[in-house]
Amino acid sequence: MPSFNDDIQGTGAVVLAGVLNACRMKGEALRDQVVVVHGAGAGGAGVALAIREGMRREGLSEAEIAGRVFVLDSRGLLTDDRHMEDYKRDLATPRALTDGWAGTDLENVIREGQATVLLGLSGQAGIFSEGVVRAAHANTTRPLVFPLSNPTANTEALPADILAWTGGQAIVATGSPFDPVRLHGETHEIGQGNNAFIFPGLGFGAILARVREVTDEMVTAAAYALAEYTQANHPGRTYPPVDELSHASIHVAVAVIRQALADGVATEFTLRGQSDAELLDTVKRKFWQPKYLPFRPRE
């Protein structure tokens, strides 16, 4: 039975989509960023792997990626000379890259690595302190700061604080829902990086294509499809409004089917040769619409 791990792959895909949109908002590319992922559990690992895959797609070599994606756990930066769980080894930074650094704690990694993107999946409330956020802001005019841990009580920093510490310059997205922040006469929408933007469309596309397996490329295609949907419909946001989930899911499903066909794992042969417009029509026709009959209380 085809399956995928939403905690790892779904989280990675939705965060990659938000980072891609935030990069576009500041007129840069993912390959231009230096990313710090704080938290090396399943979600953090999934995010780091997704970011690395996005950088590969944009032409960076493995050596270049090693100097642009830094992952920390509760003991600090993952380096290849440390004792750690096996799944973390692919995320470790070569120790040689840190020679001469003042330290490998969060704030020093941001400073020494010249980080421009800060992603929180640690579950540690308040770990993105004012000093940490200001360190990221010192490296770029518009830092990307995503405190993604749930629930709200565990979020790494509050959006209002992040924006206040950066003079409204940070691009912020969260894992929990937050109200817009009003600062210096401007309203800042806070995008919610919810896995529900990925897994319904990914699962639906996989079912319609009758796939033999869910490939990594299909998951990445879902991330890019969500980013494209947001860019087309909400160019000033990292994520669409949650009430557009069904529309975003249709767009994701089309991209997933197209990638499944390219990967040779789709067994629904009637989809072969269909244009994007035809695939879109197929998905819309098969998409469940919640229509309920009227009812009245029994007298």
Predicted confidence at residue 294, as pLDDT, reads 87
Predicted confidence at residue 297, as pLDDT, reads 87
Predicted confidence at residue 218, as pLDDT, reads 97
Cis peptide before 297 (omega within 30 of 0): no
Predicted confidence at residue 291, as pLDDT, reads 83
Give the integer Cα–Cα distance in Å for 234 and 245. 13
Kindly state which CATH superfamily the domain 6-193 is placed in.
NAD(P)-binding Rossmann-like Domain (3.40.50.720)
Closest Cα to residue 244, out of 230, 231, 258, 261?
A: 230
Domain range annotation of the chain:
6-193, 196-286
pLDDT tens digits, one per residue of 43-74: 999 999 999 999 999 999 999 999 999 999 99
Q: What is the mean pLDDT of residues 191-217?
A: 96
Predicted confidence at residue 296, as pLDDT, reads 86
Predicted confidence at residue 221, as pLDDT, reads 97
pLDDT tens digits, one per residue of 115-127: 999 999 999 999 9
Is-contact 202 216, C-beta < 8 A? Answer: no
- Band (pLDDT 50/70/90 cuts) for residue 298 is confident
> How far out from the chain centre does Cα 11 lie?
6
The single residue listed with the structure tokens 């440390």 is 82
Closest Cα to residue 152, out of 199, 183, 192, 189?
A: 192
As a whole-number percent, the residues of the chain with pLDDT over 70 amount to: 100
3-state secondary structure 43-77: HHHHHHHHHHHHHHHCCCCHHHHHCCEEEEECCEE
